[in-house]
Amino acid sequence: MEAVRRQLRDWIDADQDRIVGFLSGFLRAKSPNPPGDTREACAFATALLAQEGLSHRIVAAREDLPNIVASVEGTRPGRHLVLNGHMDVFPAIEDLPGERSQWSGDVEEGRIYGRGASDMKCGTTASLFTFLYLSRLREHLKGRLTLTVVSDEETGGRWGTRHLMETIPEEVLGDCCLNGEPSGAATVRFAEKGTLRLVITIRTPGAHGAYPHLSASAVKIAGRLMGELEEITELRPDLPERVAELLASPEARRAMEESLGAGAPDIVDKSTVNIGVIRGGLKINILPDECVMEVEIRVPPGLDRARVMETFRSILARHPEASFIDRPDHSYDASWCDPDGGMALILQDNVQALRGVRPPAIVSLGGSDARYWRWRGVPAYLYGPSPKTMGRRDEHVTVEEMMHVLRVHALSAFDYLTR
């Protein structure tokens, strides 16, 4: 089996130009979501499968948001591994005059630039090529490998992974999921926070700005409320002992700092509150009668969202002028799986062999489609490029990390399906 593994590595090394060229072209195939028309990116990805003579099918809830599903059967019975990546990306920020277009796909000084390079066309490229190489090695595989490349992750997955889970669960659930969302080379992700999205409206009678004795100010109440909502960050989760121990370890804390930025270890097991939008007031000399705040709370694994809501309601109850609605479409539970599961160890072994450092398993601060597997009891792990430039004008990955992420995915999928 070592010789076959060697062959796999040789293919990847020999194909570097092809892989980098593919990612560059994939980035030029615009797929901003919203509005979310991914047909060009989808055609680009399916052309790669066609070049290799691999069949696929399209499973779509909306014509402009096609999802690619392909599967290869090993020659002996075994486990079913599912590769998952998304091809929709954040909308581009308006390009500055004289600056590189965010849809350039430029390859320059070892970097590949473009909207979605980090989140997550690099990871999806790794999934596609992993599927391509392992299909060539099917005679050595046990079980089954399924590729899912979806068109809607950025707006919640309703037209993407969620649609697949609802329509063809027996084909896409599998025994384990591997996904290349940005994680940074230094960490493997086994869990992620959940969210609560709430819209608060504060209403008062309002008045002339010189007559504050006649009405409370909706904007000033919003200001007080904003401070009080921070009480939510004091709630403590009830983490499984192993997870708590893992997150407190010096290696995990260091890796979190490296991958998520300084300060990340201090918020990973806490709820955080973001006031994303605030609107209120009409004119400088009018006392505002309305203020609207859009609030997003990120809830760590082990903390029940009902407990967070209880605290939220009790804070709001102090201000009878305030009411709220929640946005259940965009609120979801945290998810996690076994940080010491089979695929977690395989990923860690392969990264250690390639980089010389073992990446600890940590919790993602943001969301990913991996939650759809974890909620159904199937372990799902992320390993992908650096998240540092995602969503920025200069979003990019390095050629080196593209190749590293692909090596880790291909070798880990191979190990999972041959052991």
Which stretch in 133-141, 175-183, 240-248, 406-414 sits in contact with Zn ion by CB under 5 A? 175-183
**Do the Cβ atoms of 146 and 171 come closer than 8 Å?**
yes
Q: DSSP of 107-162, one letter per residue?
A: EETTEEESTTIIIIIHHHHHHHHHHHHHHHTGGG-EEEEEEEEES-STT-STTTHH
Instruction: Give least dist CB 87 to Zn ion, A.
Output: 10
**Do the Cβ atoms of 334 and 272 come closer than 8 Å?**
no
Number of residues that bind Zn ion (CB under 5 A): 3
Identify the three-state secondary structure at position 34: coil
Peptide bond connecting 32 to the previous residue in cis, omega within 30 degrees of 0: no
Instruction: Give least dist CB 384 to Zn ion, A.
Output: 9
Instruction: Give least dist CB 331 to Zn ion, A.
Output: 18
**Which residue, 119 or 321, has its beta carbon nearer to Zn ion?**
119
**Which residue, 119 or 338, has its beta carbon nearer to Zn ion?**
119
The Cα 150–Cα 167 span in angstroms is: 14
**Which residue, 68 or 120, has its beta carbon nearer to Zn ion?**
120
**Which residue, 108 or 394, has its beta carbon nearer to Zn ion?**
394
Instruction: Give least dist CB 103 to Zn ion, A.
Output: 17
Task: Answer yes or no whether residue 88 interacts with Zn ion by CB under 5 A.
Answer: no
**Nearest alpha carbon to residue 268 among 320, 324, 344, 191:** 191
The Cα 273–Cα 234 span in angstroms is: 11
**Which residue, 29 or 120, has its beta carbon nearer to Zn ion?**
120
Instruction: Give least dist CB 413 to Zn ion, A.
Output: 20
**Do the Cβ atoms of 298 and 193 come closer than 8 Å?**
yes
Read off the DSSP letter of residue 90. P
**Do the Cβ atoms of 416 and 343 come closer than 8 Å?**
yes
C-alpha torsion sign, points 163, 409, 417, 6: positive
Task: Please select the residue that binds Zn ion; options are 37, 119, 269, 395, rule is CB under 5 A.
Answer: 119
Instruction: Give least dist CB 296 to Zn ion, A.
Output: 17
**Which residue, 90 or 324, has its beta carbon nearer to Zn ion?**
90
**Which residue, 181 or 395, has its beta carbon nearer to Zn ion?**
181
How far, rounded to the nearest angstrom, does the alpha carbon of residue 172 sit from its chain's CA centroid? Answer: 18
Residues 33-62 that bind Zn ion (CB under 5 A): none
Instruction: Give least dist CB 368 to Zn ion, A.
Output: 6
Instruction: Give least dist CB 86 to Zn ion, A.
Output: 6
**Which residue, 144 or 163, has its beta carbon nearer to Zn ion?**
163
Which stretch in 57-65, 72-80, 117-125, 243-251 sits in contact with Zn ion by CB under 5 A? 117-125
Residues 221-280 that bind Zn ion (CB under 5 A): none
**Which residue, 120 or 216, has its beta carbon nearer to Zn ion?**
120
Task: Answer yes or no whether residue 365 interacts with Zn ion by CB under 5 A.
Answer: no
> Strand 76-86 and strand 361-364: pairing?
unpaired
Task: Answer yes or no whether residue 395 interacts with Zn ion by CB under 5 A.
Answer: no
Task: Please select the residue that binds Zn ion; options are 120, 303, 334, 378, rule is CB under 5 A.
Answer: 120
Look up residue 304 and give its amino acid.
D
Residues 63-82 that bind Zn ion (CB under 5 A): none
Site string for Zn ion, 133-172 (x = CB under 5 A): ----------------------------------------
Identify the three-state secondary structure at position 197: strand
Instruction: Give least dist CB 388 to Zn ion, A.
Output: 14
**Which residue, 179 or 204, has its beta carbon nearer to Zn ion?**
179
Q: DSSP of 237-254, one letter per residue?
A: ----HHHHHHHHSHHHHH
Instruction: Give least dist CB 134 to Zn ion, A.
Output: 23
Burial class (CB in 10 A: 0-12, 13-18, 19+), 209: middle
Q: Report CA-CA distances (Å) from 35 to 65, 86, 274, 290.
A: 10, 15, 24, 30
| Chain residues in the site for Zn ion (CB under 5 A) | 119-120, 181
